[in-house]
Structure 1
Amino acid sequence: MKVAVVSDVHSNLVALEAVLDDLPDVDAVVCAGDVVGYNPWPAECVDALRERDVPTVMGNHDRMVATDRNFGGNGMAQAGVRHAKRELNDVQLDWVQRLPRERTLFDGRVKVVHDHPEVQDRYTYPDAFGPHLIGDEDALILGHTHVQHHEVYDEGIVLNPGSVGQPRDRDPRAAYAVLDVETPSVEERRVEYDVDRVAEAVRDAGLPDGTADRLADGR
């Protein structure tokens, strides 16, 4: 079984479409959260995953949009949450609100959580990867850090596919991965997209300049 894994789309429709167009032949697509936030197209990104029935977990930006809780992040994050709340219709908002914190898929073989399997909102960077994170599943999928990385252990795979819509590993290309559950193995993939178009749309939407500027640097 081959599974395309995306995460941290962050309302970047141009990057998401580039990734979806680039997908090889896979059996399924899953998303490790943060569909919304930061960029201009939250509604369109929600629909792209919702209409494809992509199993998705709730990220921290998704949770802030789904609830009335205050967002403790930086100004760019706060602006993206406010923008998403204005843009989503009732159907799209309901989809975000119903996202679970974690999913176990494919007969228990793959677990998906946005941040850390035990501690909500904890950033699990590559140097914190280890077999101790893996439970009964064959592969644990994480997001949240926007840093593409994976490790293969005797106990299974720990995988962060990187960010579709806002990479932070100094590579501005949209990131995703293909997990082969049977092998087991991971192919990390990157896709060029029109960053300038997104940056212009960020500014046209009245979102912070910093949200646009960081896209070109992958930070």
Structure 2
Amino acid sequence: MRIGIISDVHANLVALEEVLEKLTGCDVIYSAGDVVGYYPFPNEVVEVFRREGIESVAGNHDVAIASGDFAGMNQIAMEAGIYTRQVLTGENLEWLRELPLNIETSELSIYHGMPAEGEAAYIVYIFPEDPITDEFLKDADKHIVVGHTHIQFVKEHGGKLFFNPGSVGQPRDGDARAAYAIYDTESGELRLERVEYNIEEVCEAVEKAGLSRYLCSRLYDGY
């Protein structure tokens, strides 16, 4: 079985469509959260997830937008969150509210922030250099997937992997291309992949929606 793994789409439909083209041979696709937030295609992205049967955990932006509580977010994230909540259909907003904090498969434990219960599951950041990845892997009986940092990486310990597929919608590791991963359950191989997409098309939509131009510069810079 080939499993597609994505994260942090952040309502960037243009990037998502390019990534899904690369995942057409996958049997199933999972998301490590933050389906919406920042970019101006929230309904379109949620509808793609629903139509394609992509299962996702809840990210911090998903939780904030579903609840309307933007405490702790910076001004740009908050403004984009308010915009998203205003334009989302009732049905798509309800879909966000129902996202779980964790998905367990026979091979993977998927979280947004860190393997934990409650708020920590979508709030805490785990970066590539964080030694806590080894601590989690010591007792892991599955591979662990997280998102949240928008940084693509993989760590290995005792035959188990701790990895972040990177961000589809707003990479922050210096590579502007949309990030994703493919895991093959037969071979045990994990591939961390990237694909180019039309950033200018997203920026035109950002400006049309009246969102911060800074959201565009981040896409070009990959930070």
Q: TM-score, normalised by structure 1?
A: 0.94
Q: How many percent of aligned residue pairs carry the same amino acid?
A: 38
Offset of 1:212 from its aligned partner?
A: 1.3
Matched, 1:161 2:161: no
Matched, 1:144 2:148: yes
Task: Answer yes or no: is the 8 Å Cα contact 2:33–2:57 preserved in 1.
Answer: yes
Segments of 5+ residues of structure 1 without an aligned counterpart are none
Offset of 1:81 from its aligned partner?
A: 0.7
Q: Which residue number in structure 1 is paired with residue 8 of structure 2?
A: 8
Q: Secondary structure at the match of 1:207?
A: coil
Whole-angstrom distance in 1 between the partners of 2:73 and 2:61: 10
Task: Answer yes or no: is the 8 Å Cα contact 2:68–2:82 preserved in 1.
Answer: no
Give the superposed CA RMSD: 1.4
Given the superposition, is the C-alpha separation of residues 19 and 143 from structure 1 closer, same or farther in structure 2, using an over 3 Å criterion?
same
Task: Answer yes or no: is the 8 Å Cα contact 2:7–2:165 preserved in 1.
Answer: yes
Q: Find the partner of 1:127 among 126, 129, 134.
A: 129
How many residue pairs get matched?
217
Q: Which residue number in structure 1 is paired with residue 111 of structure 2?
A: 113
Task: Answer yes or no: is the 8 Å Cα contact 1:58–1:96 preserved in 2.
Answer: yes
Counterpart residue identity of residue 98, structure 1: E
Given the superposition, is the C-alpha separation of residues 41 and 71 from structure 1 closer, same or farther in structure 2, using an over 3 Å criterion?
farther
Counting only pairs closer than 5 Å after superposition, residues 64-79 of structure 1 correspond to structure 2 as 64-79=64-79
Matched, 1:26 2:7: no
| Post-superposition CA distance 1:4-43 (Å, at most 9, x none) | 1000000100000010112252221000000000001011
Q: TM-score, normalised by structure 2?
A: 0.93
Segments of 5+ residues of structure 2 without an aligned counterpart are none
Whole-angstrom distance in 1 between the partners of 2:136 and 2:95: 28
Q: Secondary structure at the match of 1:51?
A: helix
